[in-house]
């Protein structure tokens, strides 16, 4: 069986790469210029913060899911320690326990499985996890339904502290497998405070695609709602990236508000991207790739 460290890691990397690029774009406008420049900069910054909070929940969810399609029936499942080459003191081989291998320090994550109810409760106590998610505290309850090539998760996160954000959320994640191909359709509602202390209430729908054993993934979707009481919409389209490489040409991230003010990042396959706002277009450097 593959080591658990390969479980959907590139899904996490894709989500975080989008956050980093939005954050870099928010610095493209100088706040000491005119008022409209301030509004443009605020729009980009709020978009970055809200996407970051959303990504945190999606990244944590991806870490809970098995990388393999188990058994002859081809059913996906929540990760279990039976996938590991050795127990390494991780505890029983129950559904959900496999996520413990991804979080440190050891025993910071407790997992309670009720297989009759098809429910797993994850309790985090100041955990550090894959791909930069840190200081995770709180509880996630996942109910699941597995069938041939499909795993449906209904998730509720309560007072989840992660990367300085505090989030209450609920989501449905439908993960499917077709041979080596994987996809996750995500639909969630979130509210709380971003890592920069901004109150938000958002809904989001995303499609994440990848192939088992490879580290190239695609992401698209829309999120919308309020940040600091103001409407904001973020759209990600045709975003694809392989680990260690720059986003592929054609990917786009767009942030807009109720007044139709819009900022946009368009990727060209290199470590440069075009950042466009009502003030014009400029080239920015993507620090997260070479």
For the segment 149-194, what is each residue's pLDDT rounded down to a tens digit?
A: 788 999 999 999 998 899 999 999 898 877 777 888 989 999 999 9
Q: Which two tokens stand for residue 129?
A: 């996890």
Please indicate, yes or no, if residue 38 is contained in any of the structural domains. Answer: yes
Residue 250 is predicted with a pLDDT of: 95
Distance, CA of 193 to CA of 174 (rounded, Å):
26
Using pLDDT thresholds of 50, 70 and 90, give the confidence band for residue 130. Answer: confident
pLDDT at 233: 95
Burial class of residue 17, CB neighbours in 10 A (0-12, 13-18, 19+): buried
Q: If DSSP codes are grouped into helix, strand and coil, which group holds residue 2?
A: coil
Helix (H), strand (E) at residue 110: strand 109-114
Beta-carbon contacts of 273 under 8 Å, excluding residues fewer than 6 positions away, are 21, 247, 265, 266, 267, 283, 284, 286
For residue 210, the model assigns a pLDDT of 77
**Residue (of 198, 121, 212, 144) closest to 167 by Cα position:** 198
Q: Are 157 and 139 in contact (CB under 8 A)?
A: yes
Of residues 138, 135, 140, the one with CA closest to residue 62: 140
Q: What is the pLDDT of residue 246?
A: 86
Give domain status of residue 264, yes or no: no
Flag whether 130 is in a domain.
Answer: yes
The whole-number pLDDT of residue 290 equals 67
User: What is the secondary structure of 86-146 as a DSSP string?
Assistant: S-TT-----BTGGGGGGSBSTTSEEEEEETTTTEEEEEEEEEB-GGG--SEEEEEEEEEEE
Would residue 226 count as lying in a domain? no
Residue 43's pLDDT is what?
87
Judge whether 69 lies within some domain.
yes
User: What are the tens digits of pLDDT across the range 49-77?
Assistant: 888 888 888 878 877 876 555 444 456 66
H-only helix segments in 118-243: none
Q: Is the pLDDT of residue 14 over 50?
A: no
Q: What is the domain extent for residue 144?
A: 4-214
With respect to residue 285, please indicate whether it lies within any of the assigned structural domains. Answer: no
Give me 208's structure tokens: 């994440």
Tell me if 262 sits within 8 A of 255, measured CB to CB.
yes
pLDDT at residue 96 in the model = 66
- Contacts for 34 with CB less than 8 Å, ≥ 6 apart: none
pLDDT attached to residue 223 = 94
**pLDDT (0 to 100) of residue 87:** 35
- Whether residue 253 is contained in a domain is answered as no
For residue 271, tell me if it sits in a domain. Answer: no
Contact (CB, 8 A) for 11 and 62: yes
Number of domains in the chain: 1
Would you give the distance in Å from CA 187 to the centre of its chain? 12
Average pLDDT of the chain is: 78
CA distance 50 to 58: 13
């Amino acid at each position: 069986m593959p080591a658990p460290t390969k479980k959907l890691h590139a899904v996490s990397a894709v989500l975080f790469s989008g956050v980093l690029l939005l954050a870099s774009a928010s610095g493209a406008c100088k706040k000491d210029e005119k008022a409209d420049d301030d509004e443009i900069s605020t729009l980009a910054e709020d978009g970055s913060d809200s996407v970051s909070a959303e990504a945190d929940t999606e990244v944590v969810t991806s870490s809970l899911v098995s990388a393999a399609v188990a058994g002859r029936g081809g059913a996906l499942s929540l990760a279990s320690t039976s996938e590991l080459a050795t127990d390494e003191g991780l505890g029983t081989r129950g559904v959900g326990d496999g996520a413990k291998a991804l979080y440190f320090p050891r025993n910071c994550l407790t997992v309670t499985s009720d297989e009759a109810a098809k429910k797993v409760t994850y309790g985090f106590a100041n955990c550090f996890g894959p791909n930069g998610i840190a200081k995770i505290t709180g509880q996630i309850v996942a109910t699941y339904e597995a069938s041939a090539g499909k795993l449906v998760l209904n998730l509720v996160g309560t007072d989840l502290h992660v990367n300085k954000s505090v989030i209450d959320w609920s989501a449905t994640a439908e993960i499917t497998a077709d041979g080596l191909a994987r996809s996750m359709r995500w639909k969630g509602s979130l509210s709380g405070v971003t890592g920069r202390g901004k109150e938000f209430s958002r809904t989001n729908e995303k499609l994440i695609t990848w192939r088992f054993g490879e580290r190239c993934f695609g992401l698209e979707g829309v999120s919308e709602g309020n940040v600091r009481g103001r409407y904001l919409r973020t759209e990600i389209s045709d975003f694809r990236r392989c680990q260690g490489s720059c986003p592929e040409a054609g990917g786009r991230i767009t942030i807009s508000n109720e007044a139709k003010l819009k900022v946009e990042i368009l990727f060209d396959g290199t470590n440069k991207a075009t950042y466009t706002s009502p003030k014009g277009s400029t080239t920015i450097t993507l620090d997260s790739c070479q």
